[in-house]
Structures are given as structure tokens and as C-alpha cells.
Chains A and B, each alone.
Chain A
Amino acid sequence: MSRRVALIGTSAIPIGRHQTADNESLQVLEHEIMTRLVSEAVRDAGVSKEDVQSLIFTLPRPYTRQKYFHTFLMGQLRLACSGSVMEVMGNGMTAALAFDKACDEIMLGRAEVALALGINMESAVSAAEHMMSSMRTTGDVDFHTSAGFTPIAWYAMDAMRYMHEHGATREQLGAVAVKNRYHASLNPLAQYRKPITLEEVVSQRPIVEPLGLYDVPPRGDGAACLVLASEEVARSLGRPYALVRGRGFYHDGTHQISDVPNDMIAFTSAKQAAQDAYKQAGITASDLDVVEPYAPCTIVEVLVSEAIGLFEKGQGARAAFDGETRLGGRIPISTSGGLTSRGHPAYVTSLYNYVEMADQLRGRAGERQVKNARLGLVSGELGNYNAALIHVLEAMA
């Protein structure tokens, strides 16, 4: 039987504005944040510096002045190791890939303890400028970007189609934003914590119709560090940990849209990856206690909740509106506050999803704690969920 992997320690800074503008006299330096987080996470895990043999970093944004950030940090930490040291990149999936590759290092026996970590700084760059880069990350740069498509425009078209097919309302989608803001109000790491009402959500200015300001993710800076270990090491430490029980990945062989007409809002990659992860874990969707999806917009959370089998097709928005996905509901989703309220420092977003899952499964989520949370699911994605990476984790006391 292959080795199993545990998530044993985490650290993160609150998501928000950390990046300094070029003209400020005192600059915030990424490596100073990162070395503190490594020290904190390793202490949280209860392991020592020498135990760490692999480090998988998320690629920093192009705005980060220090290049080769990962190997620069090895020098700041004077960490000699024999596993792998690298930066990974997969657009929105970047941080989920960092976690996944860190798992691989342990399963391959290259490390007993591995870190998945990174920093995403972008808030000092205006949205219109930042979009000059992000518009080239989704779709075809010649055949789509030339028409003005932006990353969240694709999700907006999911929303339009979903409302058309299922008669879902703006209010039902908006309920996801209200619920996530409530969760965020209980999360010290969240970017936006002041509760909002449904009236406020639906009356916001449109960003990409039918989605308004509160249906789409804010931009922000963030940094986090996860400590992963072999099950043996995790068990020897005598502390609660989260064991990776299942993993699924699926790329549907399309980028953004399929030129062969399909059911665009079925998110078949999420469905396939979840089924594979459930099979490995020996569970079904109904066994899950808490779900922390990569869902940049309200509609995405709805579509993921259906694709991974929590709700029937067309029922996700109604379920969210009825409170089924709220803390205390049938299946709490995005207890961190999700991408819309906890925040979305894109290249490290999923690190925060695993931080939340570790908190839930180690019983450390405070007021956000899902009672007796035992099984949780975390997802990452590319494009319009053209690819999905899903992990199922289990609480081990």
C-alpha cells in the first residue's frame, strides 16, 4: 500500500492589502512575510527545520520584484534538503497543485515532511491594469481576448445559462454571497467581514451581468504555508491532523469553452475528479461534513455543489437560498467565507482553502467550527472548471 499524507500544520496572513505602491518609502517585502510564516507553520506542526525535505512554492505574481523567489527563500531559511524545491503554476489551480505536488513528494518517499507555500501580492496594481494580464489567461488570446473577454465573464455566462435553464433567480445566487460574508465575519483571516444583506447584494453595480460587485471576488494579497507529513510522522506527533484520503484530477481537454457543444454548466471535470476522490476514500458525497471549493463567483459555488454530487442539477441555488450550505445547515460550504468574502489572492487562494479545512478537521475553527467535522473536500480548478483537482481529507485525532 502506498504511503499516506497528512496535513499537520498551517500559517497564513489575513487576506487584504499588503502590497506597497512603488512610491512608498517603506516597502513590504515578500520574503520577510514568507520566512515568518514558514517558522510559524513548522512550529504549529510540531516538527523541526531538519525534517523538511521538500518545498513546493506557488509562482509569485510578476509584480514581485525578487525573482527566483523559491530558491531565494531557501537561502533566507538556510534550508538544505534532498527532495524537491520548485515553483508551480497552474493559474487558479496554482495553490492546489502546490499542495498536490507536496503530497507526491511524501508518497514518493522523497520527504517525510514537505511544505506547500507561497505569496500573492497584487493589490497595489489597479484592476484595469491587472486585467491586461488576466484577460490573457482565459480563452484564446487571439480569438477571444480580441473581443474583450475577461476571466469572470465566463462565469457570468454560466450564471446567465443557469438562470435560463433552471429559472434560478438573482436572489438565489446572491444568497451565496450573503452566506459567505456571514462565514467570513467569523474568520480572522478574511478580507471582508462586515455582514451584508441580500438587498445589498442584488443592488450592487453590475460587473459582468448578471453578476454584481458582491457576486464576484475581490482582489487581495495573501500568503500561507502548509506543512504536510507522512502518516507515520503525523501519528508520532500525538496531535490532531487531517489525513488525505482521496484525490481526483480531471482535465476535459478543452480550454474555457468546447467548440463541440456540450453542457457547459455541468462542470464535468469537477464531477469526474470528485467521483475519483470519493472512490479512493471509500465514501460518497453524502458522507462529507464540510466543503471548501475554489469558487470565484456565487454561481461557481452553486455549480460545483451540484457537480460534486451534493445537490441535484438545478437545485444548488435553491439549496443555498434555503440555508442548506450555511454553518449549521445540511452541508456547510465555504466556512472560511469563500473567495467572495474571505478573499481571493489568486495564486495562493487554495492554500487558504486547505488552511480552513485543516482548522475544521483539527477542531480549531472557533465560531466557524462545523460540529464533529470528520470528512471534508477541497477543490481547485482551471478556466471554467475545464480542469478540477479535488482532495478529500479526514480528521484524525
Chain B
Amino acid sequence: MNHNPLPMVSVVGNLSYPPRLSEFTQTFWNGLRTGQWQTTCCEDCKKVTFPPKPVCPHCWSPRVGWKPLGAKGTLYSWTRIHAAPAVFASESPYAVGIVDLSEGVRLACRLVTEEGVALNPGMPVEMVVLQYEDGPLFAARPVLESQEN
């Protein structure tokens, strides 16, 4: 598993709709600021869940701990949103997608696109941190064949 920090991508401006931090989720969001990519794992049934949760959704145990996640995954599906809510208007159109991480966790996030690189279900992607001026957001971007190790 890749415990290296996620690559950082700087973004001009503030988050359009910042996530709330709780005493529990601040571990995730504050960690993300430095590229720490992690979620919760149940100490009883050992299952990992994402987003992180204070109670295991599988066995309802409150004994959960933090565990690093790998950065690599596969794009399950995606869309580009042209009709956006008012607060996202300045960012639209923007791409979002569903990513299956290599360790068997599915999540939905923003996608970082590059001109000339088509998005396709099944393509390899890696997680990155979008560094807005006021905070981080997790996202994924295509991994070009030549960059794969």
C-alpha cells in the first residue's frame, strides 16, 4: 500500500462549497491538507469504509481506527456537469467520477482533466489533493500508461 502523501494540485480561489469539519472528520480533512490519504477501519470486523465513519456501518462497532489508503484505482464511471448549482457556476463545466480504489473501496470525487486525455470507464486513475486557497478536496486524475510503474 502506498503511504506516500498524495500529489498536490494547486487551485486558484476558494472551495465552492466547503465540507464541514467535526471533531471526528477533522482528522481526515486536516490530514488531507498535507496529502495524508486515509479512512476508518473497524477494529472488530476489520472492514474499511469511505467516507470515514465513527461507527462501522457493517457491524455497528464504535471501535474504529484510522488507516492509510492507496492512491491507485480504476475509473468506474464519470460525467461532466454543465448545469451546475449557483455556487459552482464559476467552475463549470467540471468532471466528477466514481473511483474503485485498488484495495476494494469505491468513492465519488472531482476529476482533474487534461486537454487531449479522454476519460473512459475502466481507465487507471490516481488520487490527488486539490489545494484550494482555503482548504483541500480529494480528487482523481487519469494515469497515463507511460507513467504507470
Contacts of A165 in B (CB 8 A): 121
8 Å CB contact of A206 from B15, B80, B104: B80
Closest Cβ of chain B to A95, distance in Å, is: 24
CB distance from A266 to the nearest CB of B (A): 13
A128 touches B85 (CB 8 A): yes
CB–CB B79/A160 < 8 A: yes
Please indicate the chain B residues that have their CB under 8 angstroms from the CB of A223 in the complex.
none
| Cβ contacts under 8 Å, B120 to chain A | 164
Q: Which residues of B contact A135 (CB under 8 A)?
A: 17, 85
A147–B84 Cα distance when bound, in Å, is: 11
Q: Which residue of B lies closest to A152 (CB)?
A: B83
B20 & A264 in contact (Cβ 8 Å cutoff): no
CB-CB < 8 A to B122: which residues of A?
A: 164
The answer to whether A259 touches B85, judged by C-beta atoms less than 8 angstroms apart, is no
Most buried by B among A131, A156, A160, A164: A160
Mask of A146-169 contacts with B, CB within 8 angstroms, 1/0: 111110010011111100110000
Q: Taking the nearest CB of chain A, how far is it from the CB of B77, in angstroms? A: 4
Closest to B105 in A: A259
**Segment of B4-12, B60-68, B95-103, B141-149 in the binding face:** B95-103
Q: Are A160 and B121 touching (Cβ within 8 A)?
A: yes
Contact between B139 and A147, CB atoms less than 8 A apart? yes
**Quick check: is B55 within 8 A (CB to CB) of the other chain?**
no
Question: In the complex, which range does the number of interface residues on chain A fall in?
Answer: 35 or more
Asked whether A149 lies within 8 Å of B76 as measured between CB atoms, the reply is no
The chain B residue sitting closest to A135, CB to CB, is B85
Cβ of A205 within 8 Å of any chain B Cβ, yes or no, is yes
Chain B 72-102 residues near chain A, CB threshold 8 A:
76-89, 91-94, 96-98, 100
Residue contact A127 to B83, C-beta cutoff 8 Å: yes
Contact B108 A209 (CB under 8 A): no
For residue A129, CB closer than 8 A to chain B, the reply is yes
CB-based nearest B residue for A162: B77
Cβ of A207 within 8 Å of any chain B Cβ, yes or no, is: yes
Tell me how many residues of B have a C-beta within 8 Å of chain A.
44
Q: Chain B, 126-147, contact with A by CB distance < 8 Å: what is the 0/1 string?
A: 0000000000010100000000
Interface residue? B51 (CB, 8 A): yes
CB distance from B50 to the nearest CB of A (A): 5
Among A140, A148, A159, A164, the residue within 8 A (CB) of B110 is A148
Q: Taking the nearest CB of chain A, how far is it from the CB of B17, in angstroms?
A: 5
Determine if A147 and B137 form an interchain contact, defined as CB atoms under 8 angstroms apart. yes
Shortest Cβ distance from residue A190 to the other chain B in the assembled complex, whole angstroms: 22
Q: Does A145 contact B (CB under 8 A)?
A: yes
Cβ A143 vs Cβ B86 within 8 A: no
Assuming A128-B89, A147-B137, is B84 touching A140 (CB within 8 A)? no
Whether A207 and B83, one on each chain, are in contact in the complex, defined by CB atoms closer than 8 angstroms, is yes
Q: How far is the CA of A257 from the CA of B50 in the complex (A)?
A: 11
Cβ-closest chain B residue relative to A147: B110
Whether the Cβ atoms of A161 and B108 lie closer than 8 Å is no
B59 close to A (CB within 8 Å): no
A256 within 8 A of B: yes
When the two chains form their complex, are residues B87 and A132 in contact, meaning their CB atoms are under 8 A apart?
A: yes
A258 contacts B by Cβ under 8 Å:
yes
B-chain residues with CB within 8 Å of residue A149 when the two chains form the complex: 81, 96, 108
Partner of B76, one of A146, A150, A159, A261: A261
User: Could you tell me the distance between the alpha carbons of A165 and B137 in the complex, rounded to whole angstroms?
Assistant: 30
Which A residues lie within 8 Å of B20 (CB)?
A: 141-142
B residues near A127, Cβ cutoff 8 Å: 83
Contacts known (A160-B77, A209-B79); A142 close to B19, Cβ less than 8 A? yes
Say if the beta carbon of A144 comes within 8 Å of chain B: yes
Collect the chain A residues with CB atoms within 8 Å of residue B78's CB: 157, 160
Chain A contacts of B92 at CB under 8 A? 148
Q: Flag if B106 contacts A146 (CB, 8 Å).
A: no
- Please determine whether B108 and A264 come into contact, CB atoms closer than 8 angstroms: no
Residues of A within 8 A of B109 (CB): 147
Q: A148-B110, A209-B80 are in contact. Are A143 and B19 (CB under 8 A)?
A: yes
Contact B17 A145 (CB under 8 A): yes
Complex Cα–Cα for A144 and B85 (A):
13
Question: Would you call A85 an interface residue if the criterion is a C-beta within 8 Å of the partner chain's C-beta atoms?
Answer: no
User: Is there an interface contact between B86 and A264, defined as CB atoms closer than 8 Å?
Assistant: no
Contacts of B30 in A (CB 8 A): none
Identify which of A143, A150, A161, A211 contacts B51 (C-beta below 8 A).
A143
13 more contacts with CB within 8 A, not counting A140-B51, A148-B96, A210-B79, are A131-B85, A142-B19, A145-B17, A147-B96, A147-B137, A148-B94, A150-B81, A153-B96, A258-B106, A259-B49, A259-B50, A260-B105, A261-B105
Q: Can you sample 25 A-B contacts with CB below 8 Å? A: A128-B83, A128-B85, A132-B86, A134-B85, A139-B108, A144-B108, A146-B17, A147-B108, A147-B139, A156-B81, A157-B78, A158-B77, A160-B78, A164-B77, A164-B120, A164-B121, A165-B121, A208-B83, A209-B80, A209-B82, A257-B98, A259-B107, A261-B76, A261-B105, A264-B76
